[in-house]
Amino acid sequence: MLTRIDHIGIACFDLDRTVEFYRATYGFEVFHSEVNEEQGVREAMLKINETSDGGASYLQLLEPIREDSAVGKWLAKNGEGVHHIAFGTPDVDADADAIRKKDVRVLYDEPRKGSMGSRITFLHPKDCHGVLTELVTSAPPADPEH
């Protein structure tokens, strides 16, 4: 079951300048940043609020590290802007399977690695009224005994 807006993915040419815009304009700070080689992006997660399902909502600022990545190609065609939305779920495998049965193309056979150890998959924008849609299950909280 999809229980929150996990994040909005925003494509930008210069991650550091875009982070600075969000800090200076709204006061949002970087909660986490990483490079996701598989997705071809350098990214910053800005935490906006916690959500009633125990998760949180973020802005995900994305700068391509390769021109032929999904974000690199999209930026070349469209310029900067909102690239995708992501819904959070406790069980991305189950939700992806259920949505696949509704004749919506799920882009990956199995979820892949997303921000902060999450597992993610995507739905084809052409099957979602023009919106590239991500499903995400956060990593479980770290075990305090280890």
- The active-site residue out of 39, 63, 83, 84 is 84
Residue 7 CB, shortest distance to Co ion, in Å, is: 6
Q: Which does 128 bind (CB under 5 to 8 A by kind): Co ion, ligand CMX, none?
A: none
Q: Of residues 9, 40, 64, 72, which one binds Co ion by CB under 5 A?
A: 9
Rank residues 76 and 82 by Cβ distance to Co ion and give the closer one.
Answer: 82
Under rule CB under 5 A, how many of the chain's residues touch Co ion? 4
Q: Is residue 84 annotated as part of the catalytic site, yes or no?
A: yes
| Residues 45/117, Cβ–Cβ less than 8 Å | no
Q: Of residues 41, 134, 135, 137, which one binds Co ion by CB under 5 A?
A: 134
Q: Which does 58 bind (CB under 5 to 8 A by kind): ligand CMX, Co ion, none?
A: none
Q: Is residue 124 annotated as part of the catalytic site, yes or no?
A: no
The residues assigned a catalytic role are: 7, 43, 60, 84, 134
